[in-house]
Structures are given as C-alpha cells and as structure tokens.
Amino acid sequence: MSQLTHDELIQIRRHLHQIPELALEEYQTHDYLLEVIKQFDQTYLTIRVPKELPTAVMVRVAGTNPRRTIGYRTDIDALPVTEQTGLPYASQMPGKMHACGHDIHMTVALGLLSYYSEHQPIDNLLFFFQPAEESKNGGKLAYELGLFTGEWCPDEFYGLHDNPELPAGAIGCRMGTLFAGTTEVNVDIQGQGGHAAFPQNAKDAVVAAASLITQAQTIVSRSIDPIQSGVLTLGKLEAGTIRNVIADHARIEGTIRGLTQPMIEKIGQRLQTICDGIATSFEVDVKLELNQGGYWPVENNADLTSHLIAFMQANPKITFIETAPAMTGEDFGFLLAKFPGTMFWLGVEDDAQLHAPTLTPDERAIDRGIEAITQFINYRMQENYLLEE
C-alpha cells in the first residue's frame, strides 16, 4: 500500500470507530493498527511491539541524514460511554465509544506514517501509538517501562488532541500550559446498614455521601482564588441495593483539575478536610484516595512551541487559532515533563463536546490535520538541518 488516500483514511477511521476498547485492553485496535502499518512500504520502517506494554505500537522511520529523532504520539483507547450518534459505523462494542476522538488521532498518525513510509524524512521519526490515555497512565507507564531508550528516545515530542469547538482542520495551540493536571478521586464511605424504618439504628452511607458531595462543591467556589481556576467533578456515585434497606457503603469517584500543581494539591487537601468532617459528623469511616498518576499539567516547551505557532500562523493554508488553557487532562503532560515538545489541538467542528455520546467529529479534519502536521515536521527537519550545517 502506498500513501493512504482520502477514502482509505476515512475507511480506517470508521473501522477504528467501530472497535473502541478501554485502557490497556486495546488488543483489537492494536492488531488493526499493525495490520495497516504492515501494508506500508517497510524500507525505512522498524516496527516494535513492546512486550511490557502489549497493546502499544512503536514505529521508527529512519532518516536520510538524522540529527535527531522527532517523536509523534497518538492515544488509542476509548471511553465507557454508550454511543448515541445513530451513525452507520457506530461502535460495535456495547457501552464503549471513541467519545474523545482517539479514532481521529490514530487515523491522523497513520496518515503521517504512510506519508513518511513513501517520503524518507531527513531526521528519524518515532511514532508512538499509546494505550491508556483516559485512565491508567499509559504515557507514564511507557516511560517507566523504559520504552523511550536508545534509538527509541525522542529528542522532541509532539501530539494532538481533537477539539469540537474549533473549525475542522484548524490547529489550536498556546505557549505555556495547554491542559490541566488531573487527579483521580475515590471516596469510600463505610457506615452501618439497617432497616429503612429504623434509621436511628444505622449509619446511613447515602446521606453521608450526599452531604460530602454538597460540601465538596464549596471548595472551588469558597476556597480558591476566583482569579485562578480549579475543578472538582464527582462523576460517579454508587450506593445501596434496594429502597427499604439503609445502605452501609457508598463510593464516589471523581476528578480534580488545576492548571498548576499547587492548585491541584490545595483542592485535594480541602477535600481531605471535608472527608474528615463527614466522618465525624455522620459517625462513618471515610477513606479518600487521590491518584494523579501521569496526568501532569501539559506544559508546552517554549522554544518548540514558538516554532510551531510561528509556522502555523505563517502558512496561509492553515487556520491557526491561539487557544486558552483547557481543563481537560492528558497524560502527554507526563511525557512533556520528560521530553521537550508541544501538544496542540486539531479542530473537529461539532456541536457535541468531548466525552458526549453524540460526538461526531468532522472527518475533513483528518486530511487537513495530516497536511498541516506533515508540513510542520518537514519544516522542522529542514530548519534543524540548516541550523546545524
């Protein structure tokens, strides 16, 4: 297979859309990615399936006169969301959906890789198809497993995220922090069950959970400087078995977001204080678990990002939009703390937002994204080459 055509890209994206898989379970996706990659001309490619992270795929493209290795990362996992788009190519995996557009991300990466399998780059390229972005820290795992060592170490690293609020194919970026850091929150409340008719003999975990949730919502509104930003969303609550039994246990799961580490830590500390207060006032046990993993704030490297922005702005064929920081999280933040690089948005123009069951990215973004990124990588390689001649 030569460079992927528009029709092939659309077909690949729609196939990927039909087989969404959750973090670290992306086996079908992995096999399909390999199947596509193996059809490219292999002359310049080396494919690696790391046994330590079996759903990942890494591909090196050997450069003609390499001065460095330019990394490009795409995430490959999906979300536990039941799709409601009604599309003919909707998810065939019950309860799972590419509701964050990682099918678009993968297709753009495959488009880039197919281009460079036909047009040997000057520098080496490293493509990293990363499992587990939505949870379970795929980026951090890969780093800690030593996947980026030796010839697999990028000198600079790029990655994108799709953005329904930007026009299809537009590139969005900013200097400094692009995305928030996030911390996963788990709260377990252990009370004492009993008969609905005799609350005086029980310790109701549902009432304690309700109060905890309401108090937690005062953290951002009352404890945080309004000029700064933070988020605490408690997205999951489980308790009880039937209406007439007082629940002995409740579990709350959520996420803290902040643009700086001190902000994330402050929200976590306030939440701990509230949990301790709930334990005292409701006479229940409350266990709070905070796990940041690799979801560090996405800090774009100043030098590389100024190059990327200047290039995109100067190119009349590319719509470039300078964006504000977003409270979305990304474990690419961890990798950007280890390797200089830049994350940017790719517009996919849709009314639905990321993680919505109706998300329908505009597929025109695929060709436009591939075009803009290829041009940037080519410029970057030429630039490096000229500077060091």
Ligand X SMILES: CC(=O)N[C@@H](CCC[C@H](N)C(=O)O)C(=O)O
Ramachandran angles phi, psi of 332, nearest 5°: -65, -20
- Is residue 15 a known part of a binding site? no
User: Percentage helix, strand, coil, to 5, in the chain?
Assistant: 35, 25, 40
Q: From its phi and psi, is residue 21 left (phi > 0), alpha (psi between -120 and 50) or beta?
A: beta
Shortest separation between residue 286's beta carbon and ligand X, angstroms: 20
Does residue 75 carry a catalytic annotation?
yes
Site string for ligand X, 94-133 (x = CB under 6 A): ------x---------------------------------
Exactly one of 83, 103, 133, 134 is catalytic; which is it?
A: 134
350 near ligand X (CB under 6 A): no
Q: Which of 37, 354, 377, 381 binds ligand X (CB under 6 A)?
A: 354
- DSSP letters spanning 83-132: -----TT---STT-B-TT-HHHHHHHHHHHHHHHHHS--SSEEEEEEES-
Which residues are paired to 238 by β-bridges? Answer: 251
Structural tokens at position 1: 């297979």
**Residues contacting ligand X: total by CB under 6 A:** 12
Among 131, 329, 333, 369, binds ligand X (CB under 6 A): 329
Q: Footprint of ligand X on residues 260-299 (CB under 6 A)?
A: 295
* Shortest Å, Cβ 379 to ligand X: 27
CA distance 382 to 376: 10
Chosen residue from 161, 203, 270, 380 binding ligand X by CB under 6 A: 161
Helix, coil or strand: residue 11: helix
Q: Of residues 75, 184, 330, 331, which has the active-site annotation?
A: 75
Q: Identity (one letter) of the amino acid at 381?
A: M
Query: Which one, 68 or 161, has the nearer CB to ligand X?
Result: 161
**What is the secondary structure of 312-332 as a DSSP string?**
HHH-TTS-EEE---BS---TH
Of residues 292-311, those binding ligand X (CB under 6 A): 295
Task: Tell me: is residue 307 an annotated ligand-binding position.
Answer: no
Binding-site residue numbers are 100, 102, 134, 161, 355
Binding-site residue numbers for Mn(2+) are 100, 102, 134, 161, 355
| Catalytic sites, residue numbers | 75, 134
Q: Which residues are near ligand X by CB under 6 A? A: 100, 134-135, 161, 182, 184, 255, 295, 328-330, 354
